[in-house]
């Protein structure tokens, strides 16, 4: 029953969010980034862009509550004082109510939230040093709908994770002419697997995807986990950027399907769990937001991974004659491609469309999810509201062949019906209302097909978990 048990555990650890940032990340151009999800408090952009932006907005924070950029404005003398020293303080609160009217292992409604606190320091104003320091922490409140009710592959919300207060990022970056080196605790979703258009959506799969989030030890270096790493960014020619990072191979040491809470505070700073290497080539014509961004990348993890079907003797793990010791594989890997393309941009009407797509694959024998694909469409400026956005996205995660063979064998050897996994589908429709510059309200609808890829319902043996219709409302406040 390994597959069924594993599927009930992994939703706690496969949370996502941290995607942050677009191709201009770290460009130090002073362009502030709008708050949308926790990942859009862009860590790459924050030290350079936000430090300069803080200097600019320290003098233009309006006294009018409804037009100022942040709810607390300058917080008295605090933000202007920090700006003198190249420092920027950001506080964002995400809260949401989500409920599944159908499906899952039970129906119900939950409340969850996330406080995102960050401090970026540009060292140029004080030390005349081309470097940035960045620190970030999360306070995650309440367990999410995925773990409590639905048991789907990824999380219904990108802010869902095990409740705790944790350090997420703590790093220093040094800039050279066309190379930047970053050392310290980091997340992969700042730079990798990160289409900007997908940040509109609530579902966790549209952030840190279920393929790495389910297959990698502890869910990999995505939300909410920070991992010790070294990152190199190269800008060899105009329009082309190359990112390469070396992360510790297991964020918490808990292994595949392991709990985030093995390092609940994010201060273990582990460095002895093998290597997770990820690289991405990014092409952005004319370095323009209007021209689209195209990415191709891949990752490799040097840890050992168990086979989902065979034991060390080549026999099915479901067989009564099996040793019960899964065959071990050295390493795991994946390749992926991402397209993020704006179109039909009407500057006069303040409207535009953008579409995105991601596809990635991994070996069938050692991965629960061996293929993931998604696509989405967003429209900015509906109903004459230039800062509102509406979008629709779809995603599909395919269960690996080895896991399916194992489940087939369970039915064959026991002589009892046992659901065989196939894949999990997702449709999300969302509308984000920019009420004020510091407040967003976002009604959301999701439909999850075949949760968990078809795992048995613990409340109804022999049957799959039912499809889930999810309704929700998220609020985002930038303090």
For 27, 99, 118, 363, the CA distances from 437, given in Å and listed in that order, are 23, 28, 19, 45
pLDDT of residue 58: 42
Q: Phi/psi of residue 192, each to 5°?
A: -115, 150
Q: How large a percentage of the chain has pLDDT more than 70?
A: 87
pLDDT of the residue at 50:
36
Residues ≥6 apart with Cβ < 8 Å to 246: 229, 230, 231, 275, 276, 277
Tens digits of per-residue pLDDT, 340-374?
Answer: 999 999 999 999 999 999 999 999 999 999 999 99
Residue 156 has pLDDT above 80, yes or no: yes
CB under 8 A, 24+ apart: contacts of 78-83 = 79/54, 82/54, 83/51, 83/54, 83/55, 83/58
Query: What is the Cα–Cα distance from 20 to 199, expressed in whole angstroms?
Result: 8
Which of the four pLDDT bands, split at 50, 70 and 90, describes residue 61? low
Mean pLDDT on 119-127: 95
- Mean pLDDT for all residues in the chain: 88
The two structure tokens encoding residue 295? 């990415």
pLDDT at position 288 is 84
Q: Are 169 and 189 in contact (CB under 8 A)?
A: no
Least trusted range by pLDDT, from 50-59, 177-186, 322-331? 50-59
Residue 5: pLDDT band by 50, 70, 90 thresholds? very low
Residue 45 pLDDT greater than 60, yes or no: no
- Residue found under tokens 């190199």: 232
pLDDT score recorded for residue 402: 96
pLDDT at 462: 75
**What is the mean pLDDT of the segment spanning 30-35?**
32
Question: What is the rounded CA–CA span in Å between residue 372 and residue 358?
Answer: 8
Gap between the Cα atoms of 208 and 37, Å rounded: 12
Residue 171 has pLDDT above 90, yes or no: yes
By percentage, how much of the chain surpasses pLDDT 90? 79
- Has residue 443 got a pLDDT over 50? yes
Q: What angle do CA 334, 335, 337 make, to 5 degrees?
A: 140
User: In the prediction, which pLDDT does 287 show?
Assistant: 84
Res. 62 pLDDT band, cuts 50 70 90: low
SS3 for the chain is CHHHHHHHHHHHCCCCCCCCCCCCCCCCCCCCCCCCCHHHCCCCCHHHHHHHHHHHHCCCCCCCCCCCCCCCCCCCCHHHHHHHCCEEEEEEEEEEEEEECCCECCCEEEEEEEEEEEEEEECHHHHCCCEEEEEEEEEEECCCHHHHHHCCCCCCCCCCCCCEEEEEEEEEEEECCCEEEEEEEECHHHCCCCCHHHHHCCCHHHCCCHHHHHHCHHHCCCCCCCEEEEEEEEEEECCEEEEEEEEECCCCCCCCCCCHHHHCCCCCCCCCCCEEEEEEEEECHHHCCCCCEEEEEEEEEEEEEEEEEEECCCCECCCCCCCCCEEEEEEEEEEEEEEEEEEEEECCCCEEEEEEEEEEECCCCCCCEEEEEEEEEEEECHHHCCCCEEEEEEEEEEECHHHHHHHHHHHHHHCCCCCCCCEEEEEEEEEEEEEECCEEEEEEEEEEECHHHCCEECCEEEEECECEEEEEEEEEEEC
Tell me what the mean pLDDT of segment 127-156 comes to: 95
User: Residue 179's pLDDT is what?
Assistant: 96
Q: Is the pLDDT of residue 129 over 50?
A: yes
**Model confidence over 277-307: pLDDT tens digits?**
999 999 999 888 889 999 999 999 999 999 9
For residue 310, pLDDT beyond 90: yes
pLDDT band (50, 70, 90) for residue 234: very high
50, 20 Cβ separation under 8 angstroms: no
Averaged pLDDT, 259-285: 95
The CA-atom distances, in angstroms, between 199 and each of 275, 381, 412 are: 28, 16, 44
Q: Which range, of 261-265, 285-289, 475-479, averages the lowest pLDDT? A: 285-289
Q: Do residues 193 and 362 make contact, with C-beta atoms less than 8 angstroms apart? A: no
Residues ≥6 apart with Cβ < 8 Å to 283: 239, 240, 293, 294, 295
Tokens of 427: 């449709």
CA distance 39 to 19: 5
Q: pLDDT digit string (tens) for 450-459?
A: 999 998 898 8
Query: What is the mean pLDDT of the segment spanning 265-287?
Result: 95
Is residue 52 scored above 80 in pLDDT? Answer: no
| pLDDT at position 377 over 80 | yes
Place of tokens 């990112």: 243
456 burial (CB, 10 Å; 0-12 / 13-18 / 19+) is buried
Question: Which band of pLDDT confidence, cut at 50, 70 and 90, is reported for residue 435?
Answer: very high
């Amino acid at each position: 029953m390994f597959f069924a048990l594993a599927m009930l555990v992994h939703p706690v650890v496969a949370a996502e969010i941290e995607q942050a940032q677009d191709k201009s990340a770290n460009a130090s151009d002073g362009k502030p980034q709008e708050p949308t999800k926790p990942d859009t408090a862009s860590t790459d952009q924050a030290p350079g862009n936000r430090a300069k932006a803080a200097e600019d907005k320290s003098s233009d924070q309006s006294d009018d509550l409804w037009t100022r950029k942040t709810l607390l404005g300058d917080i008295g003398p605090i933000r202007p004082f920090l700006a003198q020293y190249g420092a920027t303080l950001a506080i964002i609160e995400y809260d949401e109510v989500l409920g599944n009217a159908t499906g899952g292992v039970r129906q119900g409604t939950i409340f969850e939230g996330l406080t995102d606190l960050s401090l970026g320091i540009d060292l140029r104003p004080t030390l005349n040093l081309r470097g940035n320091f960045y620190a970030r922490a999360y306070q995650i409140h309440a367990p999410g709908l995925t773990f409590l009710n639905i048991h789907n592959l990824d999380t219904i919300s990108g802010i869902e994770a095990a409740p705790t207060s944790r350090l997420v990022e703590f790093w220093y970056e040094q800039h050279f002419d066309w190379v930047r080196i970053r050392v310290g605790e980091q997340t992969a979703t700042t730079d990798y697997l990160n289409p900007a258009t997908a940040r509109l959506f609530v579902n966790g799969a549209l952030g840190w995807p279920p393929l790495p989030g389910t297959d990698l030890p502890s869910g990999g270096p995505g939300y909410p986990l920070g991992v010790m790493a070294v990152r190199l960014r190269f800008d060899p020619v105009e329009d082309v950027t190359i990112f390469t990072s070396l992360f510790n191979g297991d964020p918490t040491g808990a292994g595949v399907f392991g709990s985030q809470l093995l390092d609940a505070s994010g201060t273990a700073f582990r460095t002895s769990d093998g290597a997770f290497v990820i690289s991405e080539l990014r092409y952005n014509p004319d370095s323009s937001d209007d021209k689209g961004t195209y990415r191709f990348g891949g990752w490799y993890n040097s840890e050992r991974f168990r086979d989902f079907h065979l034991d060390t003797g080549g026999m099915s793990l479901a067989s009564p004659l099996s040793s019960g010791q899964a065959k071990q594989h050295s390493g795991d890997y994946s390749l992926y491609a991402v397209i993020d393309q704006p179109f039909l941009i009407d500057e006069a009407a303040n409207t535009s469309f953008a579409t995105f797509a991601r596809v990635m694959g991994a070996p069938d024998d050692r991965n629960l999810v061996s293929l993931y694909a998604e696509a989405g469409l967003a429209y900015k400026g509906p109903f004459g509201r230039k800062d509102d956005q509406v979008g629709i996205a779809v995603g599909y995660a395919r269960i690996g062949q080895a896991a399916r063979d194992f489940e087939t064998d369970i039915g064959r050897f026991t002589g009892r019906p046992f659901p065989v996994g196939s894949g999990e589908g997702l449709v999300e429709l969302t509308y984000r209302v920019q009420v004020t510059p510091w407040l967003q309200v976002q009604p959301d609808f999701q439909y999850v097909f075949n949760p968990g890829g078809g795992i048995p319902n613990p409340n109804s043996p022999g049957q799959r978990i039912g499809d889930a219709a999810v309704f929700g409302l998220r609020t985002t406040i930038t303090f």
